[in-house]
Each structure stands twice: as structure tokens, then as C-alpha cells.
Chains A and B, each alone.
Chain A
Amino acid sequence: MDNFTNNEELLNALKAGGEEAFSFIFIKYYSNLFSYAYRILNDNSDAQECVQKTFYHMWDIRHKLEIRDSIKSYLYRSVYNNCINIIRQKKVLSKYEEGGQTDLYFSRIIQSPQTEMRLIDSETRRVILQNVQSLPEKCKEIFIRCKINGQSQAEVASIMNISIKTVENQMTIALKKLKEKLKYFILF
């Protein structure tokens, strides 16, 4: 499906409601948009529904589709807006509203579409992902549980049925590897 070499041509085809044009952008962007929505919503089926709705909506409003920068950034913004609607319903946001911290959520915590687009093609992301993926299976699992899922080392030790010492050692290995590659990071 490389028949849309020209952006303008693609946009016109989208406005006309062409099935091929919609399939084309769906195939091109679906995986990345899904991953983005998943990391905001932290839920598989919500993320799927969110991205699905984005494309439905784009078709619904195709006649008045106004794209100023690019279809890609339109899609990311649209997924972002749908995510906000979902987290509102899911009561994630109400915990922030309670403490008057809604601004904090929107300005710091949620991954903005701009940041996501910058990150997705960045060298930093490539290096981090590559190094995390190349860790030995067990080490990777420990890293993900501790640093991504927010479990304590003690918790991870008991879930994985290993000693806390092992968890600590494995984490040291994982962090050392990242430290070498990401010297300017203060994290590790």
C-alpha cells in the first residue's frame, strides 16, 4: 500500500472517506498509537477501544477534517484526547481532582502527544529499549516489575520466589548496563 506517496493526495482520499486511505493510515500508525494509549491508560482493552474510536471518529468527521501539521500528529492528539475521556470515567483522574492536583496530572504526569512523538523516534528510546530487551529474561522481569510496575524489591522477591539479595543483584546488573549507555542520566 504505497499508493499514497503524496500527503495531499492522502488527505483528499481521507476526506472522501476512501477505505484504502483509512486502511493505509491504520496499518501505518496503529501499533504506535496503541502503545501510546496503553502507557497512558495501563489497560489493554481500554487502549484498544481508544485507538479504535480515534479512527471511527476520524471517519465520522472526514468532511471537516482539518489537518494543519500532519496526519500523524492529528492522530496522536486525537488518541490523547480519547485517553483523557477514558481516564476521567475510570476515576484515575478523580484521585487528582480530590487533592486539587489536576494541573499536576496534565502538566507533568500524562505523556503529551508532543513528547510522545519526540520520544518514539529518539535515539534515547532506542538505546533504552534495546538494552532492556537484551537483558537476560529474569533480570528483565525484575527490572520491569521494579521500575515500571512499581513493585518493591521485597514484593518482587516473594512473587518470583527468589531472595531479596538476588533481586538486588539483578537490579544492579540491569542498572549498570543502562548507566554505561546513558551517561548523562542522573537516574542510575
Chain B
Amino acid sequence: MQLKGEEATDILISRILKGIANTEEIAEFAIWIKDLDHERYFEQYKEVWHSAQEVHVSEGKKDQSLQSLIHYIRYNKRRQINRRRFVYVLSSAAVILSIFGLFRFYDNYSMWYDYSHVSFSELKHNTDSIKVVLSDGRVINPMRKSPYYAQEKEINMNSANQREISYVAQKTSRPQKTERLKYNSVSIPAGERFAIVLSDGTKVYLNSNSYIRYPVSFGKESRDVTLVGRAYFDVQKSDVPFIVTTSDMKVEVLGTSFDVESKKDATSSSVILVEGSVKVLADGQSKIISPNEMLSVNRFHKNMSVKNVDSKTMTLWKDGILVLKEQSIDSMLESLCSWYGVEIINNSTVSRREKFNGKFDRENIEAAMKTIALSAKVRYRIENGILIIEDIKE
């Protein structure tokens, strides 16, 4: 490495570690670190970077923080609140019902805001399209009608439902052992949904922000698919095992219905079983779960845990109803961003300890926001196409 180049590299690395690198620098770094020697250099630099900083917190600040903790404990011991708020948005009838319900609860608050000036048509929706990548590398958008697609040999486009494609088993040309399988993949952006009928008849429902890769026609030994995000599988019974691989687990079944969630940046992944039985392998352990059980794999603790859930309700998203249970306001809003394909910024001070439950219809974000605002005692506005949630100021 040249002396000048070395300085530039060190500046880049420290800007990355300091969190001040811009998008171009990040892209440059991503390429630079691909080299093994560079990677080693970076690892050592990182060690020095973290070691060389003795970050002190003053005794005064530390004591102040300790006092706050003690206050927090004493205060909460006194009022063991465990308020749970319910948000139900299913149809307008249900909305009206729950609004009346809420009014009864909170009729000492007058917070029926006039939102008539908030126009949801200004809300910016995600504009990425669903992408199907064919085995020859071509990318097609199933939502766009094209006579050209009708001639595709690999896929059957469903003319009645553009959000669904299917594959047929190619009986004539059974893939030989030596023959390599051909793969297609589909990515679903935020706010979208999609379904695929695979060559064995298995139906896969894909939620927003998901990606799946699968062979056009399955091999003889196993039926393998790769998933990032969330999908519901209705697996066709067969002696050939069906295996879903995610970044942190493998789910193996013969024929059954189940839901797999393995998001890119989440702290855990999960499998919900509706019927039949599935085997989940993660981190060298394996576990078999029964219907109405949800298995979670924590990415940091590396442990598996199983709890009972109502699997029919938890998987309603495939029919266009998102069900959220016991979520903090931030995780509820994060799910809604992905579900509706919009951006929501939470500037409110609603405590993370407040738990929300709700059902959200795919089509009606306005009703959803009104009910949330009422139930969480916040208000919303739309600015530059982004929904902003904030506290109600008296």
C-alpha cells in the first residue's frame, strides 16, 4: 500500500467506524473490503479504534442516571400499570364500533381531531414493482400486461389475478441428476403482496419486503427454496422433502401449511405451524413443532423458544389482514410501513411499554391511522408524502 493511499484508507475506515461516512464512501468501502488482506487490515484497525478510545462518563452523570433508575423503579412499583390498548381496523363498521368503545374509555379526553385537511392522496407510496427474475436473467414485472409474457415457457401468468403466477411440472424433460436446476426468483417491495404456485402444486404467499428463490421444476431428492422476509407455504404432500432455507434456519416438511418469517435485520426469526408437522433446524439444533405453535430463533442468544399462538389469526396477512399482537408503538408502525408501503416517522413520546393489538386491512390506511391516533393519544399529519406521528399539544 502506498503512503498516500494508506492515509486515504485510514480516513475512510475511521469515517466508517465513526458513522459519518456518506453513501459513496460506503460503496467504496464495500468494494475495498472484499480483498482478504484488506479485511484483515480492517479487523485490526477496528480493534485499535475501539481500544484506543477511553470513553469516560463523569461520576456526576453516572450518579444522575442511577438516581433516575431508582426513581423509575419506585415510581413503577407504586403504579403497576399494565394498560393494553386495542386497535381494531377491519371494516368501517368495526372502526366505528371501536371508536365508540374508545370514547367510552377516554371520554374525559377531548381529542377528536379534525383531520379533514389531511389528504391521504398526498401520501407517497412505495413505487418499486414486483420483480420476477427468470433463469436466463431477464426481469419481468407480472403486474404489467404484456402479450410477450404469454409466450414465456417457464411461467404461466394468471390472467385473472396479476398477483399470482404458476409453474407446471415439466414431465417430458425430467431433470437428470447431472442436469442443473433452473432457478427463478421473485422480490416483493413494501406495500405489495404476491402468490406463486410452484411446479409441485405448492402455493406460496409472499408478504411485502420479501424475496424467494426456487427451481422452475423441482429435483428428485428435495424441494428446496430460499426465503428472505415472510411467506406462507401450503405444501403439496409428497415423499420428497420440502425445505425452506433462510439466513438462520432450515424448515423441513413433507406436506403441511406453515408461515416462515426471517427478516433481514430482525433480531429473531419464526415459524408458525397451521397444520401437519415441521422440523426446524437452526444453529445445530433441531426441533419439531405442532399446529398452533410458534417457534422463534433468536439471532443473538442463538436459542429456540416455542409458544402457543392462534395460527389462523397470525397468518391472516395472506388474506389481506395484518394482525399485530402485543407490539410496541415502534414495531407496530414499522410493520405498517412495510404493509402499506409508506414511510411513517414517529415523533411521539408514547412509551415503549404501551402494547398495541390490532387488525389492519390492506386497503384502508386512513382508517388505520385515525384509530391509532385515537387509541395512542397522538395525532398525525402528512408532510412531503411522509406520515408523521406526534404528541397532541394542549
Contact = CB atoms under 8 A, between A and B. Distances in A.
Given A34-B55, A152-B11, A128 B48 contact: yes
Given A30-B65, A144-B52, A147-B10, A92 B303 contact: no
A160 to B, nearest CB: 16
A99 B44 CA distance: 25
B69 A23 contact: yes
A146 B10 contact: yes
Contact of B65 (A52, A125, A129, A148): A52
B15 to A, nearest CB: 4
Interface of A is mostly: helix
Contact of B303 (A68, A101, A149): A68
A48 to B, nearest CB: 7
A109 interface: yes
B116 interface: no
B366 interface: no
B14 A128 contact: no
Contacts of A68: 301, 303
B66 A23 contact: yes
A153 B7 contact: yes
A163 interface: no
A51 interface: yes
Interface string B25-62: 01101100100000111101111111111111100011
Nearest to B74: A19
B330 interface: yes
A99 B22 CA distance: 11
B52 A109 contact: no
Interface string B185-223: 000000000000000000000000000000000000000
A116 B19 CA distance: 17
B341 to A, nearest CB: 15
B50 A39 contact: yes
A95 interface: yes
Contacts of A143: 52
B: interface residue count bin: 35 or more
B73 A95 contact: no
Nearest to A53: B352
A: interface residue count bin: 35 or more
B50 A59 contact: no
Nearest to B49: A148
Contact of B50 (A108, A119, A144): A119
B97 interface: no
A54 to B, nearest CB: 10
A77 B54 contact: no
Interface string A77-107: 1001100110100001001101101111010
A92 B48 CA distance: 22
B10 A148 contact: no
A4 interface: no
Contact of A108 (B18, B33, B56, B66): B33
Contacts of A34: 55, 57, 62
A159 interface: no
B124 to A, nearest CB: 16
Interface in A127-174: 128-129, 132-133, 143-144, 146-153
A26 B69 contact: yes
A187 B73 contact: no
Contacts of B239: none
A41 interface: yes
B265 A102 contact: yes
B26 A96 contact: yes
B371 to A, nearest CB: 24
A30 B68 contact: no
B52 A147 contact: yes
Interface in B43-99: 44-57, 61-62, 65-66, 68-70, 72-74, 76-77
Contacts of A87: 19
Contacts of B57: 30-31, 34-35, 48
Contact of A101 (B26, B44, B330): B26
Contacts of A124: 47, 51
A52 B51 contact: no
Contact of A149 (B7, B14, B30, B61): B14
Contacts of B367: none
Given A124-B47, A146-B10, A187-B41, A133 B54 contact: yes
A96 B19 CA distance: 11
Contact of B51 (A48, A119, A151): A119
Interface string A15-46: 00101001100110011001100110110000
Which are the 7 A-B pairs with shortest beta-carbon distances? A150-B14, A150-B15, A128-B51, A125-B51, A35-B55, A38-B55, A132-B52
Given A35-B55, A104-B33, 11 more contacts: A31-B62, A52-B69, A55-B69, A84-B265, A113-B300, A124-B47, A125-B47, A129-B52, A143-B52, A147-B10, A148-B18
25 contacts: A17-B77, A19-B70, A23-B69, A23-B70, A34-B55, A35-B57, A39-B50, A42-B20, A52-B68, A84-B265, A85-B330, A95-B22, A95-B26, A103-B264, A106-B265, A109-B17, A111-B50, A113-B300, A119-B51, A125-B50, A148-B18, A150-B13, A153-B7, A185-B48, A186-B40
